[in-house]
Structure 1
Amino acid sequence: MSLSLDDIFNKKNVTEVEEKLAMVATDLQRIRIVERFLLSQLKDIQTDKLIVEAVKLIDQSNGTIRIKELNERLFISQSPFEKRFRKIVGTTPKKFASIVRFNAVLNNLNNAKSLTEICYENNFFDQAHFIKDFKQFTGDTPENFKHFL
């Protein structure tokens, strides 16, 4: 089974986003356009304060907080937390944290920092893990990707 964006969102809105994406030059600008669109679609979703707090903690840590630590700080066991999180956010807490961490990496790539600094500032175990995670999101190495920015 496959779905297109038109099956999920209003076709007019999807067309507008596609046009905006075609007009920008960088991946970072494209990411921001998609983020704004997705956030605009979140209206009318019932607020779960525990999940809002979890998202806030993940964001404040730039995605480096451990899920076990989240569970402890929010006084909830892993299984019910993951179910609630997935229902509201649409993905697991671990995947969401990974996305937030990658976003922090992208923001750091625009600065004059070395890839080694970026790797360790974002709590990657080593450069091999950093490169592996980076490739999962972009299909390219950080070094090659940096040349496109």
Structure 2
Amino acid sequence: LDQVFDKRKIAEVEEKLACATTDRQRIKSVEQFLLSQLRDIPRDKLIIEAVKHIHQSKGTIRIKELNQKLAISQSPFEKRFRKVVGTTPKKLASIIRFNSILNDLSEAKTLTEIGYENHFFDQAHFINDFKQFTGETPERFKRLL
């Protein structure tokens, strides 16, 4: 990491992670660090607009729909997006959707409601996507909270 980011900033994040008592605090620390790094990247209005759409949809927007809204074809869009954001639009959408799910887990909602509200059309996809981030099923993770 210190080859890509400032060593002092990495040390600050490591300290915050060590002091954090919950996964939510750790995730927030990493998100804040990554967002601060984005501020140093030259502005690309199209990509900023794309990220806004992804956030507004809580990560549920289809990338094809995003391409249509922004009037750009998939390949050049993905190249620009990856250059500015550092990942693909689909991966960012997955991260944002997972963050939305984490927020929903802290509320008094059933897992069925959470899956439906986050545009999962069946339980298997919800569980598989969730396990990619946590290694646990949503039910087991919720019990651990």
Query: Do the structures match in fold with TM over 0.5?
Result: yes
Correspondence 1:82-101 to 2 at 5 A: 82-101=78-97
Displacement of 1:20: 1.2
Structure 1 consecutive aligned stretches of length 4 or more whose deviation exceeds 6 Å:
none
User: Paired residue for 1:106?
Assistant: 102
Q: Percentage identity across aligned positions?
A: 72
1:126 to 111, 114, 122: 122
Q: Return the match for 1:67 from 63, 67, 70.
A: 63
* 1:79-109 per-position Cα deviation (integer Å, ceiling 9, x unaligned): 1111111111111111111111111001101
Alignment-derived partner of residue 115 in structure 1:
111
Instruction: Extract unaligned runs of 5+ from structure 1.
Output: none
1:17 to 9, 13, 36: 13
Structure 2: how far apart are the matches of 1:138 and 1:42? 25
Give the drift of 1:44: 2.8
- Note the alpha carbon deviations across 1:30-81, whole angstroms, 9 max, x for none: 1000111111122331111111000000100001111111111111111111
Distance 1:7 1:46 in 2: 20
- What is the aligned residue count? 145
Question: For residues 19-58 of structure 1, what are the structure 2 equivalents within 5 Å?
Answer: 19-58=15-54
Matching residue's letter, 1:66: R
Higher-RCO chain (CA-CA 8 Å, sequence separation at least 6) = 1
For the 8 Å contact 1:26–1:148, the answer to whether it is kept is no
Displacement of 1:123 in angstroms is 0.2
Secondary structure at 2:144's aligned position in 1?
Answer: coil
Q: TM-score, normalised by structure 1?
A: 0.93
| TM-score after normalising by structure 2 | 0.95
- Aligned-residue Cα RMSD (Å) equals 1.0
Code of the residue aligned with 2:33 in structure 1: it is: F
CA distance in 2, matches of 1:58, 1:86: 14
Unaligned runs of 5+ residues in structure 2 are none
